[in-house]
Amino acid sequence: MSARADAATSSGADAAAQAARRRSFAVISHPDAGKSTLTEALALHARVISEAGAVHGKAGRQGVVSDWMEMERARGISITSAALQFSYRDAVVNLLDTPGHADFSEDTYRVLSAVDSAVMLLDAAKGLEPQTLKLFDVCRHRGIPVITFINKWDRPGRDALALCDEVSERIGLTPMPLTWPVGVAGHFQGVVEAGDGSFTRYARTAGGATVAAEDRLPAQRAEAEVGADYTAAVEELELVTASGGEFDADRYLAGSATPVLFGAAVSNFGVRHLLDLLVELAPRPLPRPDVAGAPRPLEAEFSAFVFKVQTGMDPAHRDQVAFARVCSGVFERGMVVTNATTKRPFATKYAHQVFGQERSTVDTAYPGDVVGLVNATALRVGDTLYAGKPAVRFPGLPSFAPAHFAVARPADLSKAKQFRKGVEQLSSEGVVQVLTSDLRGDAAPVFAAVGPMQFEVAAHRMRHEFHSPVKLDRLPYSTVRRLADPAQRALVDAGRSSEVLTRADGTDLALFEDDISMRVLQRRHPELALEPLVAAGD
């Protein structure tokens, strides 16, 4: 065997061994359930930060590490995904926080394409909310196993049994509680461990800024010291377990059941249980299927796919970072790889490990890791990167069906160059979909969005990052279809309440004021070929 072959074999074995240490997961939920707070609490328990902030930070406290955009800090919500990597025990954790608002569900979908499991947060007072249901559906569709963390148990909320029943009845996942709260919501004393009935009692820390102290009591001592609240918790836990909720790791990995934990992220209650569970139970990276459906072995040469592109993370440098999930082989900084979309080489001279907005140079990465590739202006969301031969390409990421449209024009005509650059950048990142047509011209592109808050983000970034304020004039369209035959474009453009615009990927979109307008045109022209687009949550 040649020296090169020996090196390749060694590299492949190293990739498989290192992949077994990786845990890559996303934190998802309805807005304001506490995702960013939980993300930071997990980092705090892993000892990679010394003090936690809060989304609405008190005087002198920093904002959460994963919310780095100015708008996020001001509003107290996540509007872009963030990647954090840290070590815990013998595992390397790649944690992806996701946007909380439903308007950014397309970004959440991209993140879910890059992880192996998910943590779903439920607000103890609100339970399953519309966005929560959509995200569970996406996880089910992608075969992503889900751990449920019922958050905010330190505040008044609903009954624990009722929340578990809701998970079972509304989304069809069997709850398998591994901990159970002692004390009703708002009077949280600690949790009972499902395995041995022991009681973990928590002590509050000032503002939840540090890891909460834990005092673990055996069952007999807990019953004597805590009394009725402990006894009630044990009885409720036994009731759920006897009703089919006994823990079974295979059912979790198969996506038919979900482990359930209770806690309060803002106070760091129950977070250690979650982190331990992720390290012990969450799936390791597996071979990822290519576009032909053939799994790419972990030991194969390096490959990765780009699931997010972001500009503005470092205002001092104004560079562009492409976030790539490593799928196989070993990534080595400086290697030259091929972009499967363009067939062109891409040099990885600047590669970073990302922790919120902070970065450090990464020299090596393995399957399951997320690498930030800097100065990646040639990369787009959905691109596949690979080394060696044969070529490989992973399935691309769908663009969701937009529901809101607005014409964008520069507020200052002297900033036309900055305007064009900013629009191109927002399109490449997927902040909004940018639509154009010969009738409107390049000076008046149409921004298309899943939700209206995307327009706010686009306008904010155009003003503050590209120094080209924009005027956004809303269009009345609410129904969108794909025009299957470009030769029929004139039929739609001739309508009084419809037009055809072209997306950056070349897709022709037929826009109508409403379903009635579309059906009227179809009756006039039965030959008109219109097809549905992917909708958010599908």
Q: Which residues sit in the known binding site for GTP?
A: 97-101
- Are 189 and 150 in contact, with CB atoms under 8 Å apart? no
Ramachandran angles phi, psi of 143, nearest 5°: 70, 30
Q: Using CB atoms within 10 A of its CB, is residue 522 exposed (0-12), middle (13-18) or buried (19+)?
A: middle
455 vs 307: CA distance, rounded Å: 21
Q: Is 183 helix (H, G, I), strand (E, B) or coil?
A: coil
Closest CA to 83 of 358, 476, 457, 425: 358
93 vs 219: CA distance, rounded Å: 32
Query: Cβ neighbours of residue 158 under 8 Å, at least 6 residues apart?
Result: 124, 125, 127, 185
Q: Pull the structure tokens for residue 370.
A: 């997320």
Output the CA angle 524-527-530, nearest 5 degrees: 95
Query: Cβ neighbours of residue 23 under 8 Å, at least 6 residues apart?
Result: 91, 92, 93, 94, 116, 117, 278, 279, 282, 284, 368
Q: Is 178 helix (H, G, I), strand (E, B) or coil?
A: coil
Q: How far is CA 185 from the centre of its chain?
A: 28
385 vs 336: CA distance, rounded Å: 10
Q: Pull the structure tokens for residue 429.
A: 């990142």
Query: Cβ neighbours of residue 414 under 8 Å, at least 6 residues apart?
Result: none
Kindly tell me the sign of the dihedral angle through the C-alpha atoms of 71, 74, 75, 79: positive
194 vs 260: CA distance, rounded Å: 11
Beta strand extents in 275-403 (DSSP E only): 288-289, 295-296, 303-311, 320-328, 331-332, 336-339, 344-347, 351-355, 358-361, 364-365, 370-374, 384-386
Ramachandran angles phi, psi of 463, nearest 5°: -75, -50
Residue list, annotated binding site: 97-101
CA distances from 284 to 278, 336, 453 (A): 10, 27, 35
33 vs 54: CA distance, rounded Å: 13
Q: Got the DSSP string for 239-307?
A: HHIIIII---HHHHHHTSEEEEEE-BGGGTBSHHHHHHHHHHHSPPP-PEE-TTS-EE-TTSSPEEEEE
CA distances from 136 to 123, 130, 159, 537 (A): 15, 10, 21, 9
